[in-house]
Structure 1
């Protein structure tokens, strides 16, 4: 995740938290048990406060412009939220890497396939899957390995870092390549005799 995207996420969550905290505290101050425990210096809402009286409701009914404006604002907020959520869900999958000369690129799928093939050649690995994520300048390889039942994760990780990941870093230099390795094991099938 880029720094800008991470910063926007943090600011959005901080603003939402502040709004919810302030509105929740204001509403809670109108309840008698909370109101009695608050220090005298803190502002609070009146317990008998009427949020929408008959006079105010009558004034709002006289103006026909506000329902479409409220609906449009809520629709806009919903669309912005959906766009933000879609940006969070987006996988960030990399398609191709530009190489030194203009017009020459390396397919990220080909690099991921080569890394998976090299990872499958490591002793103790039954299956390997590699996905390249991130941006062209900062790559992240998500490597999922299925180990044989007798495979040692420590030995596999050592050989993977020495060969497969080191070769991929050399191929993508001067870019930064981070590797995220996940292990699972293949279980023995239980044989039943009748």
Structure 2
């Protein structure tokens, strides 16, 4: 949901900036513009001489304005490129041993690690997401723990079995992981 809101806000901001820039450009190129258009008169300017010279005595004013605008442009570009980034890794480069390599769908590896993790004692449900580069992925693991499970023991088993098996099967030198544990919540039951 947040990605949709980000993209809509980014599109609206871009459209507003494009319209404002188009209005200033149209007037600057002396194109014929309608009377309701901003700066439609022959003598209308974006910044009047009085506004431009108001802060002339302070030598810091215009460099600060330009620096703030530059920072805003960099932040807007960062925001834009962050929307284009994939939220999920698509494939993992597997070392096939012949010097070539093969591509493995990341979801297949995620699913295999999830199945291994769910087979561990005390794990009710597991969710795995691979992030990072396809040559050096990292796993984000979320485990839903049964009430009787020991977190330390389950974490050791996950590391030594499920993650290690996934790392070896993909031929990776290492597979870093961030693991989040959460306990299952059971509702109260009436005993009669």
**2:82 paired with 1:84:** no
**2:128 paired with 1:135:** no
Q: Structure 1 segments of 4 or more deviating over 6 A?
A: none
Residues in 2 aligned to 1:144 and 1:58: alpha-carbon distance in whole angstroms? 57
Unmatched tracts of structure 1, length 5 or more: 1-55, 62-69
- Which residue in the other structure is 1:116 paired with? 114
Residues in 2 aligned to 1:135 and 1:59: alpha-carbon distance in whole angstroms? 49
**Alignment of structure 1 residues 1-194 onto 2, 5 Å:** 57=50, 60=53, 74=69, 77-86=71-80, 90=85, 93-100=88-95, 104-192=102-190
Residues 151, 143 of structure 1: alpha-carbon distance in 2 compared, 3 angstrom cutoff: same
After superposition, the C-alpha distances for 1:131-188 in whole angstroms (9 at most, x for unaligned) are: 0000122211000000011111112112111210111121233443101111000022
Q: Considering only aligned residues, what root-mean-square deviation do their CA atoms show, in Å?
A: 3.4
Residues 104, 172 of structure 1: alpha-carbon distance in 2 compared, 3 angstrom cutoff: closer
1:190 shift after superposition: 1.0
Contact 2:124 2:144 in 1 (8 A): yes
1:87 shift after superposition: 5.1
Which of structures 1 and 2 has the larger relative contact order (alpha carbons within 8 angstroms, sep 6+)? 2
Contact 2:123 2:146 in 1 (8 A): yes
After superposition, the C-alpha distances for 1:33-73 in whole angstroms (9 at most, x for unaligned) are: xxxxxxxxxxxxxxxxxxxxxxx947638xxxxxxxx79x9
Contact 2:95 2:170 in 1 (8 A): no
Contact 2:88 2:130 in 1 (8 A): yes
Residues in 2 aligned to 1:88 and 1:117: alpha-carbon distance in whole angstroms? 31
Residues in 2 aligned to 1:96 and 1:177: alpha-carbon distance in whole angstroms? 14
1:193 shift after superposition: 7.6
Say which structure is richer in helix. Answer: 1
Unmatched tracts of structure 2, length 5 or more: 1-48, 55-64
Provide TM-score, normalisation by structure 1.
0.56
Aligned residues: 131
